[in-house]
Amino acid sequence: MRRKRIYGKRRKRSAFPKQQLSPEAAKAKAERDLAMAKTPYRKFTKRDAQKKHRDNPDKSHLDYDHSTNSFVKAKENRGGFGKGTKT
Protein backbone atom coordinates (compact mmCIF):
# COMPACT_ATOMS: atom_id res chain seq x y z
CA MET A 1 0.00 0.00 0.00
CA ARG A 2 1.47 3.33 -1.04
CA ARG A 3 1.11 6.34 1.19
CA LYS A 4 -0.30 9.48 -0.38
CA ARG A 5 2.00 12.46 -0.55
CA ILE A 6 0.79 15.92 0.32
CA TYR A 7 3.08 18.68 -0.92
CA GLY A 8 6.02 16.29 -1.06
CA LYS A 9 5.63 15.05 2.50
CA ARG A 10 4.41 11.72 3.74
CA ARG A 11 1.08 11.81 5.45
CA LYS A 12 1.19 10.31 8.93
CA ARG A 13 -1.21 7.59 9.87
CA SER A 14 -3.68 8.50 12.54
CA ALA A 15 -3.08 7.10 16.02
CA PHE A 16 -6.82 6.44 16.08
CA PRO A 17 -7.87 3.90 13.46
CA LYS A 18 -11.19 4.19 11.68
CA GLN A 19 -14.00 2.38 13.43
CA GLN A 20 -14.60 -1.07 12.02
CA LEU A 21 -18.38 -0.99 11.64
CA SER A 22 -20.67 -3.14 9.59
CA PRO A 23 -22.46 -1.30 6.77
CA GLU A 24 -25.72 -1.28 8.78
CA ALA A 25 -24.00 0.06 11.89
CA ALA A 26 -22.12 2.69 9.87
CA LYS A 27 -25.37 3.90 8.32
CA ALA A 28 -27.09 4.05 11.72
CA LYS A 29 -24.15 5.97 13.19
CA ALA A 30 -24.16 8.45 10.30
CA GLU A 31 -27.86 9.08 10.86
CA ARG A 32 -27.36 9.55 14.63
CA ASP A 33 -24.41 11.89 14.08
CA LEU A 34 -26.35 13.97 11.57
CA ALA A 35 -29.39 14.19 13.85
CA MET A 36 -27.15 15.35 16.73
CA ALA A 37 -25.42 17.93 14.51
CA LYS A 38 -28.79 19.41 13.56
CA THR A 39 -30.12 19.99 17.07
CA PRO A 40 -31.00 23.64 17.76
CA TYR A 41 -28.16 24.12 20.26
CA ARG A 42 -25.52 22.62 17.93
CA LYS A 43 -26.76 24.80 15.05
CA PHE A 44 -26.53 27.85 17.32
CA THR A 45 -22.99 27.05 18.50
CA LYS A 46 -21.74 26.51 14.94
CA ARG A 47 -23.34 29.74 13.74
CA ASP A 48 -22.06 31.68 16.76
CA ALA A 49 -18.48 30.35 16.44
CA GLN A 50 -18.45 31.23 12.74
CA LYS A 51 -19.61 34.77 13.52
CA LYS A 52 -16.97 35.19 16.24
CA HIS A 53 -14.28 34.06 13.79
CA ARG A 54 -15.50 36.55 11.17
CA ASP A 55 -15.32 39.32 13.79
CA ASN A 56 -11.82 38.23 14.93
CA PRO A 57 -9.80 37.16 11.87
CA ASP A 58 -6.56 37.18 13.90
CA LYS A 59 -7.93 34.27 15.97
CA SER A 60 -8.34 31.93 12.98
CA HIS A 61 -5.93 29.38 14.45
CA LEU A 62 -7.99 29.02 17.64
CA ASP A 63 -11.32 27.35 18.49
CA TYR A 64 -14.14 29.30 20.10
CA ASP A 65 -15.14 27.61 23.35
CA HIS A 66 -18.74 28.24 24.37
CA SER A 67 -18.23 27.07 27.94
CA THR A 68 -15.59 29.76 28.64
CA ASN A 69 -16.82 32.24 26.01
CA SER A 70 -13.30 32.73 24.71
CA PHE A 71 -10.90 31.56 22.03
CA VAL A 72 -8.70 28.66 23.13
CA LYS A 73 -6.26 26.23 21.52
CA ALA A 74 -7.98 23.34 19.76
CA LYS A 75 -5.96 20.88 21.84
CA GLU A 76 -7.42 22.33 25.05
CA ASN A 77 -10.96 22.75 23.75
CA ARG A 78 -11.28 19.25 22.30
CA GLY A 79 -9.52 17.56 25.19
CA GLY A 80 -11.75 18.94 27.93
CA PHE A 81 -8.98 21.13 29.41
CA GLY A 82 -7.05 18.11 30.71
CA LYS A 83 -10.12 16.36 32.11
CA GLY A 84 -10.81 14.24 29.04
CA THR A 85 -13.88 14.32 26.86
CA LYS A 86 -16.13 12.20 29.03
CA THR A 87 -17.58 13.53 32.24
Helices (H), the chain: 23-37, 40-55, 74-78
d(CA 80, CA 27): 28
d(CA 65, CA 78): 9
Find the mean pLDDT for residues 7-31: 80
Which band of pLDDT confidence, cut at 50, 70 and 90, is reported for residue 3? low
The mean predicted confidence, pLDDT, of the chain is 83
- In the chain, what percentage of residues exceed pLDDT 90? 52
